[in-house]
Structure 1
């Protein structure tokens, strides 16, 4: 039994590492593809590419539809995380550099802890409340660092905060559902729902795709196949095997990776004030997650879930 638990933990850690790296790369590729695609069109193209890849995997592996008891969670996470989140992030990165956007988004783990206190009865310890205050102070500082961009920069910060809220709500909703559905089922369902929610952007996608350079189109496809289809699946896989708080901890490395990647690929370096704001964001998350945490029981085994998950 002890050996089996150790193996599962290593698998969850590996899956989380894949998620962090691919999600970090997404911030850079969004900036690259954003020159040719508007926020809504980019979200639709990304989700459409991801849905095609995920459905193909489900067909090849013989994966079944998720049980009806998970459809509500899939609908909520699909609309918020795959739909609203991606449009808001794409839009926000039109006004912020990739590293700054990643630092604002990374208040998500604090929001996850806050929502868990409300809906999962985990309470509101003092460290959590202090962490929330510090993280939102960081978001304000990031906004001030882009004050020369006026209302556009402020809008970028607000859009990234909106994306973080959508992420947090979706994780809290998704966590219980993963006891009944596989990671592949949850991710495919959410991606398809997000695609349907973004269908109103179809005219823009068609128009912009015909004029987009091949590099931008390849960036869009990359976003759909890797940071979406693969990374969201590895996220769900790891989330099913650990607590939501611990999964939030794994995203702490994303802003640092994004800053490095955007500097190497795009030549973007955040200002010192933006870095200070990002430090506040990450410090707030660290404060909120410090101290002892109570482990949750392992997810129940669902007979309808794929054994190959």
Structure 2
């Protein structure tokens, strides 16, 4: 798959304030995702929660596509990539994440997801999507150091979680890294709404084979309002709003600068756990949170290298691809 030209374009060519504000909202939504996921799985199996989440979100996206001008289906040349993104987002990432979360804690899952920016940056460098930047590297390492401080501040024993849960969540993080790097050129070519909708609908379709065994409508509808509300939160806010923001940001700025916002989640999750679950705050939150914010700032302010000739060619080709998609839709 070819890289999108927008990886090499300086984000200073677009207004960054609204993009970063939207990403902060996405961080807050994802903070609630950890808590909502834990609450829903108190009454329902992980596979049932994931299945309802994607069936509901796919329904919402189908309605959005129905009332949005333009193609409703991806061009046939992109079906393979849509299925791949759907596979990464649904059966792989979310199944691994929820099963891992059921064996671990919300705060520790957030800590492991803080590895996302490092993975995205390394993959983007390896594929030539981005140029090396000492400031970006320093920013990612600074934010990662902040995550380590948060972990130490809580105490390794309380934040460790089970080995099985850790390994499953780490595998989910790896899938999310690939989803982010592969999704960026797709979002640049087709726009955030269609890119997100097509991948989420594909995820739901790929999960259909387990529906007869895992949907459990009787058990689901007899669950508490709190558990049902948690599933609605996961389906609407996480799978629709947060994913749309993620793809919107990916269509505008380099993937590593989008992914670095994942480093904010350990701090926001700790605060949410304090407010909603009564967990105590600790010295590491202030220091680690400060390092994370400094790292995010360093990464966002890192200068980008000039656009390479191949990227310039792809800039011209991307709009052509989108027009082709409209014609086939």
State the TM bucket, normalised to the shorter chain. Answer: 0.7 to 0.9
Matches of 2:140 and 2:252, distance apart in 1: 25
**Structure 2 residue 251 is matched with structure 1 residue 240:** yes
Question: Of residues 99, 103, 117 in structure 1, which corresponds to 2:111?
Answer: 103
**Structure 2 residue 182 is matched with structure 1 residue 173:** yes
Deviations for 1:17-55, whole angstroms, at most 9, x for unmatched residues? 332221221111111111112111111111111111111
**Structure 2 residue 83 is matched with structure 1 residue 75:** yes
Task: Structure 2: give runs of 5+ residues left out of the alignment.
Answer: 1-11
Q: Under a length normalisation based on structure 2, what TM-score does the superposition of the two structures give?
A: 0.75
Question: Of residues 46, 49, 68 in structure 2, which corresponds to 1:42?
Answer: 49
Deviations for 1:224-281, whole angstroms, at most 9, x for unmatched residues? 01111111011111110111111112222222111111222233458889x79x88x9
**Structure 2 residue 57 is matched with structure 1 residue 58:** no
In the alignment, what sits opposite 1:117? 125
When structure 1 is superposed on structure 2, of 205-214 and 226-235 the one drifting more is: 205-214
Task: Structure 1: give runs of 5+ residues left out of the alignment.
Answer: none
The 3 A distance-change label for structure 1 pair 291 and 15 is closer
Deviations for 1:196-241, whole angstroms, at most 9, x for unmatched residues? 2223442233153144212201210121011111110111111101
Instruction: State the Cα distance separating 1:108 from its structure 2 match.
Output: 0.7
Contact 2:87 2:203 in 1 (8 A): yes
Aligned length: 300
- What secondary structure is seen at the aligned counterpart in 1 of 2:270? helix
Matches of 2:209 and 2:280, distance apart in 1: 35
- The alignment yields a C-alpha RMSD, in angstroms, of 3.8
**Pairing of 1:1-309 with structure 2 (within 5 A):** 8-64=15-71, 65-120=73-128, 122=130, 128=137, 153-202=162-211, 203-206=213-216, 208-268=219-279, 289=299, 292-294=303-305, 300-301=318-319, 302-303=322-323
Instruction: State the Cα distance separating 1:154 from its structure 2 match.
Output: 1.2
- What secondary structure is seen at the aligned counterpart in 2 of 1:120? coil
Matches of 1:94 and 1:226, distance apart in 2: 21
Q: Under a length normalisation based on structure 1, what TM-score does the superposition of the two structures give?
A: 0.80
Contact 1:182 1:305 in 2 (8 A): no
